[in-house]
Chain A
Amino acid sequence: MKHKKLIFKLLYYLIMIILSIFMILPLFWMITTSLKESGALTAIPIEWIPKKVSFKSYSKLFTIFPFGKAFINSVVVSLAITFINVFSASMAAYVFAKMPFKGREVLFGIFLSTMMIPGSVTLIPNYLILRNLHLLNSYLGIILPSFFNIFGIFILRQHIRTIPDDFIDAAVMDGASQWKIFFNIIIPLSKPSIATLAVITFMGAWNDYLWPLIVLTDKNKMTLPVALSMLNGQYSTEYNLLMAGALISIIPILIVYAFAQKYFEEGLTAGGIKG
């Protein structure tokens, strides 16, 4: 019996290690490629570890393209989308959880029904709206649609419902306004859900491609995925350059993940995310 257990354990680790290699090897290749000189890219047999380590691709990345600007754009846009999304969704969620009014459930139902419509349908009109408002190539334009996020409203509503009414009633008795209650009671008591929503919204915004691709066409306004896809087209064989850019774009998300693993996993299993 003990023997069997040991074999099982060995087999388990063997399978896990093989699978892990499959998962990790591509990323290892990304890192080593970014450290290669252009000549080493076409070496046969391939160099798993570069014979000569060079950081040229990194410096080139920042000279041929405003890549630093793209990084900053990504930070600004993702943080703004996250903030607005969480703020707007928690305000609406408070109403749907705690302030009854005539037609509330109907409105919530209508909000929910938009989840049925794929993003592909609203893509073209949303572009045309921004175009008419002269908001293409602007931070504001890319951020505006995030004021409505039914997924966020849904998650936060579930949580705010569990806050006892007594807390709110007591505050009302003390003469607190709804805004005061919202900021001093609802938000602090919803922190775990807000963190979950914030983390996955940030990741979604950081990695988003299609919407920024059509809105941001000016080199200086592009976010990282759009900048990378442009480089992918223009320098399609300079993989050391492309991999350096890809790596830089991944690192911030990995850092956020390292600090908020629990919230990431909760948020992602709470429901489907946008592709």
Chain B
Amino acid sequence: MKLIKKAKKNITIFSFLLPSILAFSIFSVFSISFSFFLSFTDWDILTPFSFMGFENYSNILHSEEFWRVLKNTLYYMVLYIPLIIIFSLIVALLLNVKSKATNIFRTIFFIPVLTSWVAAAMLWRWLLSPYYGPVNAIFQFFGIHGPNWLYDSRWAMPAIVLASLWKDVGYFGLIFLSGLQAIDPSYYEAAEIDGASAIQRFLRITFPLLSPSVFFVLIITSINSFQLFPQVMIMTQGGPFGSTEVFMERIYSYAFKYYEMGYASAYSWILFVFIFLFTVLQWIFQKRWVHYET
């Protein structure tokens, strides 16, 4: 009797987990193993594959393209990450000031977060049109001759950064805002009594207490930056002269334009290693600057 009851209980548990477990086994466990296996082959879908050992990996690491892709990605990160953190912090600090229009401002910053990247990237391609776009028209108004943006290999990546900043500032601003609102106001009251200036209050109270949020944003933006995709696909397709070629765009091209499934899989594992190492490094270094309240 007890045994039947137990079996019945286990069947119930299993049936509740069944949809998740099935999809997990196929689209995660099998997929990840299959991708790893593929990365050692030269499979092109149409003809039978043969094993290559580490050839895909070594070909990628020895190609000029790979180092260009890495350089482009790091360039994007060096521009985007500090700027998005600074702007989002500013937006959060401004939205934290109570005013009658706070909710309107909040919505305005949030609209780009809601739009799809495809729509946003098309819009920015048009905004940055060298002759007919409003950005250069505004520059013209101040007597500055604007660059050719997406058609100039020096300006294409900064243009993508600009679009990304516009799209993401509301999201990370909101994350910092919820961090700010969690800070106990009595800290500020005490500091005010002690005569601390606004800058001192920011550096000694706000920033340390906000550092876990900053750390979170740093992790998320790094992971996202390595996987930059729709902006590049819609705005530049990797051009001009490979100046905006990035990992996901390369993986997509190898897999779904040239059907080099093995090579593309190897590329995706190299990307994984970069993301993994970067995240681990940030975890190690966080002890030096992230302050957790006990």
Q: Contacts A118-B275, A144-B27, A210-B252 given: A99-B13 contact, CB under 8 Å? A: yes
Residues of B within 8 A of A87 (CB): 19
Which of the listed residues B26, B45, B132, B230 has the most CB atoms from chain A within 10 Å of its own CB? B132
- Inter-chain CA distance A122–B227, complex, in Å, is 13
Residue from B94, B115, B122 within 8 A of A242 (CB atoms) = B122
Give every chain B residue within 8 A of A15 (Cβ-Cβ).
94
Q: Mark B16-50, 1 if CB is under 8 A from A, else 0.
A: 11011011101110111011001000000100000
Q: In the complex, are the beta carbons of A122 and B27 less than 8 A apart? A: yes
Q: Identify the interface centre among B28, B223, B271: most chain A CB within 10 Å of its CB.
A: B28
Residues of A within 8 A of B28 (CB): 114, 117, 122, 148
B255 touches A246 (CB 8 A): no
Selected from B94, B229, B256, the residue in CB contact (under 8 A) with A275 is B229
Segment with Cβ contacts to A, from B57-65, B73-81, B101-109, B152-160: B101-109
Cβ of A62 under 8 Å from chain B: no
B114 touches A253 (CB 8 A): yes
CA gap between A117 and B34 in the complex, in Å: 14
- A120 and B247 within 8 A (CB): yes
Identify the closest chain A residue to B119 (Cβ): A246
B108, A24: Cβ atoms closer than 8 Å:
yes
A250/B115 contact (C-beta < 8 A), A120-B227, A124-B268 known: yes
Given contacts A116-B276, A145-B23, A243-B123, are A125 and B114 in contact (CB under 8 A)?
A: no
The answer to whether A125 and B30 have CB atoms under 8 Å apart is yes
> Are B20 and A89 in touch, CB under 8 angstroms?
yes
B-side contacts of A114, CB under 8 Å: 24, 28, 32
Q: B269 in the interface, Cβ–Cβ < 8 Å? A: yes
- The residues of B that contact A254 with a CB separation of less than 8 Å are 111, 114
The answer, yes or no, to whether B200 is at the interface (CB within 8 Å) is no
- A-contacting residues, B78-108, CB 8 Å: 91, 94, 97, 99, 101, 105, 107-108
Decide if B116 is an interface residue (CB 8 Å cutoff): yes
Answer whether A29 and B268 are a contact pair too, CB < 8 Å, given A122-B32, A145-B23, A148-B28.
Answer: no
How far, in Å, is B133 (CB) from chain A's closest CB?
8
The answer on a CB contact under 8 Å between A120 and B268 is yes
Contact call B227/A119, Cβ cutoff below 8 A: yes
Q: Are the C-beta atoms of A12 and B94 separated by less than 8 Å?
A: yes
The 8 Å CB contact of A121, one of B122, B166, B178, B272, is: B272
Min CB gap B176→A, angstroms = 10
Inter-chain contact B16/A225, CB cutoff 8 Å: no
- The distance in angstroms between the C-alpha atoms of A213 and B252, with both chains bound, is 10
Chain B residue, CB-CB nearest to A101: B13
Q: Does B290 contact A (CB under 8 A)?
A: no
Residue A263 at the chain B interface, CB threshold 8 Å: no
Chain B residue contacts of A253, Cβ below 8 A:
114-116
Q: How far is the CA of A184 from the CA of B174 in the complex (A)?
A: 35
Whether A88 and B116, one on each chain, are in contact in the complex, defined by CB atoms closer than 8 angstroms, is: no
Beyond A25-B134, A46-B132, list 13 extra A-B contacts (CB 8 Å). Answer: A12-B97, A33-B126, A88-B20, A92-B20, A114-B28, A124-B251, A144-B23, A147-B19, A148-B20, A213-B252, A224-B118, A250-B114, A272-B220
11 A-B pairs with C-beta separation under 8 A: A9-B99, A95-B13, A122-B27, A122-B35, A124-B251, A177-B12, A225-B230, A243-B123, A243-B126, A246-B118, A264-B110
